[in-house]
Amino acid sequence: MLKLDGVTKIYKVGAFGGKTLTAVDDVSFDLRPGEVVSLIGESGSGKSTIGRMVLGLLRPTGGSITLDGARAAPGKAYYRQVQGVFQDPFSCYNPVFKADRVLRMIKQEYFPEVASTEWDGRMEESLKAVRLNPGQVLGKYPHQLSGGQLQRLLIARALLLDLRFLVADEITSMLDASTRIDVLNLLADLKARGLGVLFVTHDLSLGNYISEQAVVLYRGRVVEAGTTDRVFGNPLHPYTARLLASVPQLTTRWDGVPVVAADGPQEPSALVEAEPGHFVRRSPVSPREGAV
Ligand code: ADP
Ligand code: MG
């Protein structure tokens, strides 16, 4: 289990570092295998700072982050188990490396003992798991792949590591609508394979779709946390209620027809894009069909 306990991050800001900014303030939550936790909040609320601390890219000022009880420390043993995928897939790749080189580097770095032919098999398997066709992507440079393909390639790379936890920071925000839903569904597959995912998003409807636990951040503090159904169905904090109220698509389609059933089915086919970027669950029987 990945555990955050009272995690705080204070940045030094200003020309001479004389001022401070508390970006993350006493944040605690757990991420278990096979579970998606969405970390939701508006821009600047501290989501990426939390993601970067979990990935060991930033040191917390206070509190602790532990993996199975041991303090999270950047290094091979940790990165074999915990990896991140970010908003801009292009920035994560060296533009002169073809896809196969990116995946072979994992072997050099983490699995030097594995034979090349076996590694080729594992590469193929991980690409298929993210629904990429090895023949179509392996010989390509990043600029020859789409944003969605690059995002999948990053996830395939993560799978090669026998990953247990994935931090996904706004990974769908640069993708077009149909690719976005593919990547979301892929995360659901990974969850089914036992991966724990920290799904960082400013978009409530995505959080609602993908996660069973939701943590709502406001100015670095957790204002609400619980099961996604509870947080979305019965927000206890005014900030969450306000966030929900500003997303009318959650309960109403663009043409005013209600589409959400609180206990509606959650399989991907039940998802409707009510407005670009906003997915909602369709009622088991849509109101129109039901009103015969
Ligand atoms: P989010 O991902 O929710 O948009 P961030 O974690 O990126 O939020 O930022 C939280 C706050 O910390 C913001 O006010 C941001 O300006 C500030 N911040 C982020 N990174 C740094 C940094 N390296 N130095 C100083 N302030 C930072
Ligand atoms: Mg961010």
Give the pairing type, strands 221-227 and 213-218: antiparallel
Virtual torsion, Cα 20, 87, 274, 146, nearest 10 deg:
160
Taking ligand 2, which is a single-atom ion, which protein residues have CB atoms under 5 Å away? 47-48
One digit per residue, the tens of pLDDT, for the chain of length 292 reads 999 999 999 999 887 768 899 999 999 999 999 999 999 999 999 999 999 999 998 999 999 999 999 999 888 889 889 988 877 666 666 777 888 888 898 899 889 999 999 999 999 988 988 889 999 999 998 889 888 888 888 888 888 887 899 999 988 777 777 777 878 888 888 888 899 999 999 888 888 888 989 999 999 999 999 999 999 888 888 888 888 877 655 444 555 555 554 444 444 434 444 444 444 444 433 333 333 3
Q: Cα of 105 to ligand 2 centre, how many Å? A: 28
Pick from 16, 22, 49, 167 the residue to mutate for probing ligand 1's pocket: most ligand atoms within 8 Å of its CB: 49
Query: What ligand 1 atom has the least distance to the C-alpha of 24?
Result: 10
Q: Please, what sign has the CA dihedral across residues 235, 240, 52, 93?
A: positive
The closest residue, in CA terms, to atom 16 on ligand 1 is: 44
Report the pLDDT value the prediction gives residue 109, as an integer from 0 to 100: 87
Report the pLDDT value the prediction gives residue 165, as an integer from 0 to 100: 94
Which residues surround ligand 1 with Cβ inside 6 Å? Answer: 11, 13, 21, 23, 41, 43-49
Q: Cα of 45 to ligand 2 centre, how many Å? A: 8
Report the pLDDT value the prediction gives residue 187, as an integer from 0 to 100: 84
Closest CA relative to residue 208, chosen from 275, 262, 283, 284: 262
Q: What angle do the packed helices 99-110 and 147-160 form, to 10 degrees?
A: 20
**Closest ligand to the CA of 10:** 1
Amino acid identity for residue 269 in this structure: S
Report the pLDDT value the prediction gives residue 247, as an integer from 0 to 100: 64
Pick from 10, 11, 50, 215 the residue to mutate for probing ligand 1's pocket: most ligand atoms within 8 Å of its CB: 11
Report the pLDDT value the prediction gives residue 161, as an integer from 0 to 100: 84
Closest CA relative to residue 171, chosen from 163, 181, 161: 181
**Closest ligand to the CA of 45:** 1
d(CA 156, CA 150): 10
Q: Cα of 122 to ligand 2 centre, how many Å? A: 32
**Closest ligand to the CA of 218:** 1
